[in-house]
A and B are shown apart, each in its own frame.
Chain A
Amino acid sequence: MNVWGVIAKTFLHAFLICLGVVVLYPLIWMALNGFKNNAQIFGDPFALPVGWSWDNYVLAWNQGVRDYVTVSVLVTVVSGICTVLVSAWTAYGLTRTNMPAKPLLVGFVLGGLMLSPTVAVIPLVKIMQALGLYNTYWALIVLYTAFRVPFSTFLIRAYMLDLPKDVDEAAMMDGASEGQRFWRITLPLCRPIIVSCMILHVLFAWNEYLFAMIFSSGAGMQTLPVGLTLIMATHGTSYAEVFAAMTISALPIVMVFFAAQRYFIRGLSEGIGK
């Protein structure tokens, strides 16, 4: 390798490192500020905390974050399970049964991908009020499921289309019903894509803000993103506590991402590549 090659390579690595600092430093700053007190926060922003104390984290946790986390976990898990189940059923029906008018159904369900939540939000308020779900997290569970079913169905259907059908057909010859074949054969075979769907859903539901803000503003119903803005509004002057609350809500999702990176990337590449 010649001199220019070495210089170019060094330059590229330096560039990647600089960009990495730009990406990570604000997040580290956020976590560090959670350990400071207000006087330190108003001092040199680049300084490390003096006398690391978990007080702000404990305070933030007890002053609401615990409740927001509970609601967020509930909404994320329940809507995730509903989304994956409904999508797997639909994908199964569309790939493994003699259901009439399949192309029409595929178009209908996947067409939902093109419709945006923002456009639907005003009529949805009326619907949720009529159903008595307005200002409850049940509204979020229903909406997260409804708006994510098209994408998950799309992923699972693509995966099922690529699966060999012989086991399924053999089971059919042995007299297994559609239901038995779904639960015993197809669903277990689809585990990798189910996991990917679940992870993508967790990422979506944990972070969603528009619906959460409009449909679950009632006390004890707020998810973490809404709760954070509330903490900001009510404890806005004790910055350190807000930083601690932000760190607490960011950490679980970053850990989920690193733990399940492989499945996550598979889901993304399947979703976009077809």
Chain B
Amino acid sequence: MNNKEFISALSQKEGLLQRDAQKMVNLLVAELSAQFENGSTLAVQNFGQFEVKKKLERVVVNPSSGQRMLVPPKLVLNFKAYPALKERTQKGGEV
């Protein structure tokens, strides 16, 4: 399901025009982005949890050249599916 199909499904469910549905999604994504920038965690029941995690800096070694690199620390958005969602995707995969 790509973005277009997603928008189309959403618009049919909400009874919106596709254009408006896309606008709403953009708005929601902007809001989510702003929230995650602040380091908030979003937990959606029966779906999963979005969380911003901090990864520390680390030294990695290029195995072929033996060169050592310092990878900077970063903040990463993490998603963890709840058991309910896992179960349903599992079932969907079997069909």
Q: Are the chains A and B members of one assembly?
A: no
- Interface, chain B (partner A; CB < 8 A): none
